[in-house]
Structure 1
Amino acid sequence: MKIVKQLLDFYINSSIHVALAVYALSWITLLVFNLPYDENILYFNFYATITGYNFVKYFGIAKWHHRSLAKWLKVIQVFSFFSFLLMLFYAFRLEPKVIVVLTGLGLITFLYAIPFWPKQMYLDEHQNLRQISGLKVYIIAAVWAFTTVVLPILNNNQELETKVWITVLQNFVFVLALMIPFEIRDLKYDSIKLATIPQQIGIKKTKILGVLLLFFFLGLNVFKEEILIHFLYKEVIVAFVLMLFTLFSTKNRNKYYASFWVEALPILWLLLMLF
């Protein structure tokens, strides 16, 4: 059991799980828009997510404690390096207009982890986008939405029509709702100066907000030219499961509650879409 737990921890800590979630949402976009399986953009998003998330999570640790890195972190560093190389391999196979959007998303990811503003502009002692009061969840949701919708559409030479932007907004709202259990979980760790949603309005109202976001996520379908019932009922199932996870969230839940089970919901959504 110890080996299984170590493997599971590596799977989560190395960002493979979150990368599969991004991969799943990207594939869902292709299915919704009736586009063929696009290995280049899907694999790029997968390896880029591993690279980006591990860069954000471990940049500070690697910068200041390189010589005393724990063994598991060194393994993740090596794993991230090879993921970065694979990301570059697939990047060279993408359409030029995708690269333009990627430049902006990459810059946001870089500024999310690297200090760049004077300290007096922050409510905390850090100097990166991640630490700006109340901004974190919206940055993550926006990057996910553009990565999982706009990139697959552009790489298949499709126009960014109204339906595309509605889907972008849907994914943005879905990811915001998906992060609610994480925000509640992190209450006992986050600095009060970060002004996270639960810190600002409390756990109960945060859960209500999460439920309202899910209704908004589903309601956005009415603005599409046509509603595909066989897709809609699968969205309803995923939204209902996420609602249950949100309502039963507490700051003392098992660490796998959000990091594994909640994060797995995009994968569940994809499986429903496929089968």
Structure 2
Amino acid sequence: MKVFRELFNFYINSSIHVALSVYALTWITLITYGIPYDENVLYFIFYASITGYNFVKYFGLAKFHHRRLANWLKWIQVFSLFCFLFMCYYALQLQAITLVYIAGFGVITFLYAIPFLPKRYFFDSKQNLRSIGGLKVYLIALVWGGVTVLLPLINNDCRIDAGVLLMVVQRFVFIVVLMLPFEIRDLQYDSIKLDTIPQKIGVKQTKVLGSILLVVYVLLELLKEAIHRTNMEVLLIITSITFIFLVFSRANQPKFYSSFWVEGIPVLWLILILVA
């Protein structure tokens, strides 16, 4: 049981679970547009997600405590190195135009973690995009939306039209809602200077906002030219599940409520589509 618990903690802490969610959303985009399984872009996004998330989460720890890193963090560093190498391999298999877009999202990820501007522009001394009040959730949603929708389509020579941009907006809205349970969970830990959504409007109003955004998400689906009945049914199921998790989220939630169950909703979404 102890070994299983340690493996599960490594699975969560090493960002494998979140990477599977990004991978799932990307595959959903391919399925939606009738594009065959694109191993190169899917595997690149999977390994890049692990590399990027671990860089953002552990950069500060590795920078200041390198000589006395905990064993679990050392293992994550080694694991992240291998993921980085796989990411580079699959990047070489992608089209040049895809790499241009990847570079843009990579810069945002880099600036999210690395100090780069004078302190006067920030609410604390970290001097990165992550520290700008109220920006975190929207920045993550923007990157997820772009990566999971634009990259697979661009790599498969699809035209970026109004329908694609609508899906990007949809994905952005969905990810913002998916982030709200995390924002509520971190309410007891986040500095008040971060100006997160629950800090600004409270937990109850955050849930109201998330519920409204889910309605907006469904309404945006109705704007599409072609609506597949099965996909719509799956979408309504996933929207309902997301709503339930949002409603029952609280500051002192169980340890893996957000980091496993909420984060795993995109994986469930993919499974339902594949089964349907």
Q: Which residue of 1 aligns with 2:239?
A: 239
**1:225 positional shift:** 1.1
How far apart, CA to CA, are the structure 2 residues paired with 1:107 and 1:14?
A: 21
How far apart, CA to CA, are the structure 2 residues paired with 1:205 and 1:86?
A: 42
**1:227 positional shift:** 1.2
How far apart, CA to CA, are the structure 2 residues paired with 1:214 and 1:87?
A: 33
**1:213 positional shift:** 1.0
How far apart, CA to CA, are the structure 2 residues paired with 1:99 and 1:206?
A: 36
How far apart, CA to CA, are the structure 2 residues paired with 1:129 and 1:255?
A: 27
1:108 equivalent in alignment to 2:93: no
**1:4 positional shift:** 1.4
Q: Which residue of 1 aligns with 2:271?
A: 271
Q: TM-score, normalised by structure 2?
A: 0.99
Q: Which residue of 2 aligns with 1:17?
A: 17
Letter in 2 for 1:150: L
Q: Which residue of 1 aligns with 2:70?
A: 70
Q: Which residue of 2 aligns with 1:57?
A: 57
Name the SS of the counterpart of 1:255 in structure 2: coil
Q: Which residue of 2 aligns with 1:38?
A: 38
1:53-74 residue CA offsets vs partner (Å, 9 max, x unmatched) = 0000000000000000000000
How far apart, CA to CA, are the structure 2 residues paired with 1:215 and 1:94?
A: 36
Q: Which residue of 2 aligns with 1:127?
A: 127
How far apart, CA to CA, are the structure 2 residues paired with 1:189 and 1:8?
A: 23
**Structure 1 residues 137-152: aligned runs within 5 Å:** 137-152=137-152
**1:136 positional shift:** 0.3
**1:133 positional shift:** 0.5
1:260 equivalent in alignment to 2:227: no
Letter in 1 for 2:266: P
Letter in 2 for 1:248: F
Q: Which residue of 2 aligns with 1:80?
A: 80
How far apart, CA to CA, are the structure 2 residues paired with 1:139 and 1:6?
A: 31
Letter in 1 for 2:119: K
**1:222 positional shift:** 2.0
Letter in 2 for 1:113: A
1:10-34 residue CA offsets vs partner (Å, 9 max, x unmatched) = 0000000000000000000000001
How far apart, CA to CA, are the structure 2 residues paired with 1:156 and 1:41?
A: 9
1:168-223 residue CA offsets vs partner (Å, 9 max, x unmatched) = 11110000000010000000110000000000000000001111111111110122
Runs of 4+ in 1 over 2 A off after TM superposition: none
Larger CA deviation: 182-191 vs 216-225:
216-225
**1:229 positional shift:** 1.3
1:27-60 residue CA offsets vs partner (Å, 9 max, x unmatched) = 0000000110000000000000000000000000
**1:163 positional shift:** 1.1
**1:125 positional shift:** 2.0
Name the SS of the counterpart of 1:202 in structure 2: helix
1:123-162 residue CA offsets vs partner (Å, 9 max, x unmatched) = 1221000010000000000000000000000011110011
Q: Which residue of 2 aligns with 1:153?
A: 153
Name the SS of the counterpart of 1:190 in structure 2: coil
How far apart, CA to CA, are the structure 2 residues paired with 1:4 and 1:196?
A: 34
How far apart, CA to CA, are the structure 1 residues paired with 2:207 and 2:100?
A: 37
How far apart, CA to CA, are the structure 2 residues paired with 1:80 and 1:214?
A: 34
Name the SS of the counterpart of 1:225 in structure 2: coil
1:172 equivalent in alignment to 2:182: no
Aligned-pair identity (%): 57
